[in-house]
Amino acid sequence: MKVTLVQGDITGQQVDAIVNAANSSLLGGGGVDGAIHRRGGPDILAACRHLRATTYPDGLPTGQAVATTAGRLPAHSVIHTAGPVYSTKEDRSPLLASCYRESLRVADELAATTVAFPAISTGIYRWPMRNAAHIAISTVRATPSQVHEVRFVLFGAEAYAVFEQVLGA
Ligand code: AR6
């Protein structure tokens, strides 16, 4: 598996699957989630509502992942995962690692070979970037999968630089 880094907007990535830093409700939000629904159009929300009405009546548990259509995005699927909110009182790293592992498991189910990830939990959920980068990179490297390329799409020069350092270390 090749791990690559790109600075930019994840919604423009031409990959088999784009991972959404969603929340348990699956019904939208800000950050990456807001951008995906805005640019992908209403089919994604309709698919999420269907999941809430069927498989996940109580919402998607933190650390798990589920796929929908990508609507009008230049990707085949969106994999929604609910990251943990950062806490200084409790170590929620296993849940953040689980987001990456479970997303790759869903990618395998979809037969996706190129997958774009954002830096899950590092925005509204306040996870420190360097620690999040360690968890992200070490988890994808340690997860057996059919995915050929994991592309981390970082939203600014600072986040990109942190991932570059962690990847090179
Ligand atoms: N492309 C790539 N990265 C982005 C983009 C984008 N278009 N927009 C933001 N980022 P966040 P979280 C970066 O807040 O912390 C939503 O309301 C951003 O700078 O999207 O997991 C959900 O519904 C940050 O580094 O996700 C949840 O309620 C990273 O992506 C909650 O936010 C993740 O930031 C999830 O919070």
Block means of pLDDT (10 residues each) for the chain, 169 residues, are 98 98 97 98 98 98 98 98 98 98 98 98 98 98 98 98 96
CA 40 → CA 1, 10, 43, 47, 70, distances in Å?
27, 12, 8, 12, 6
CB of 123 sitting under 6 A from ligand 1: yes
Of 9, 23, 32, the residue with max ligand 1 atoms within 8 A of its CB, to mutate for a pocket test, comes to: 32
Ligand 1 midpoint to CA 34 (Å)? 8
pLDDT of residue 169: 85
The ligand 1 atom at the shortest distance from the C-alpha of residue 127 is: 15
Catalytic residue among 16, 33, 91, 108: 33
- DSSP tally for the chain: helices H, then strands E: 5, 6
Distance CA 107, CA 49 (A): 21
Distance CA 147, CA 109 (A): 11
Specify the fold of 2-168: Leucine Aminopeptidase, subunit E; domain 1 (3.40.220)
pTM exceeds 0.85 for this model: yes
CB of 137 sitting under 6 A from ligand 1: no
Ligand 1 midpoint to CA 83 (Å)? 10
pLDDT of residue 44: 98
Helix (H, G, I), strand (E, B) or coil at 30: coil
Closest CA to 82 of 19, 135, 141: 19
Neighbours of 162 (CB within 10 A): 21
Distance CA 121, CA 164 (A): 18
pLDDT of residue 120: 99
pLDDT of residue 93: 98
- On whether the CB atoms of residues 139 and 101 are closer than 8 A, the answer is yes
pLDDT of residue 147: 98
CB of 33 sitting under 6 A from ligand 1: yes
